[in-house]
Amino acid sequence: MGADPNSRLVEIYEFAYEFILGYVLRRCPRPKDAADVVAETFTTAWRRIEELPEGDEARLWLYGVARRVLAPITGAASGATSSTRRPCASGSPPPPR
């Protein structure tokens, strides 16, 4: 990879930002957390710029990073269900099924 890392990150960011933001917004339980997830995703891309694939593969790589960043937020890492990862508005547990 002979390209300047700064230029490469800017190019990838401009190409993939909207895709990654949309992906995160669809999965993030709180939209206000989406900006943090996207920022962490691109921070990881910067730290690992030499490992980042070229072209569309870079976007796929970023989806994987975003998925891993989202896992603790959405409960995917623990296998939590929606009823265990988000409290009810009333603060009481959901009714039994």
pLDDT score for 88: 30
Contact 8, 1 (CB under 8 A): yes
Q: How far apart are the C-alpha atoms of 18 and 68, rounded to whole Å?
A: 18
Q: From residue 19, how far is each of 45, 49, 66, 93 by CA, in Å? A: 15, 19, 11, 35
Q: Which domains does the chain have, with CATH numbers?
A: 5-85 (1.10.1740.10)
Over the stretch 51-86, which tens digit does the pLDDT of each residue have?
999 988 999 999 999 999 999 988 765 555 544 444
Whether pTM > 0.75 for this model: the answer is no
pLDDT score for 31: 84
Q: How far is CA 62 from the centre of its chain?
A: 8
Higher-confidence residue of 87 and 71: namely 71
Over the stretch 2-61, which tens digit does the pLDDT of each residue have?
579 899 999 999 999 999 999 999 999 888 899 999 999 999 999 999 999 998 899 999
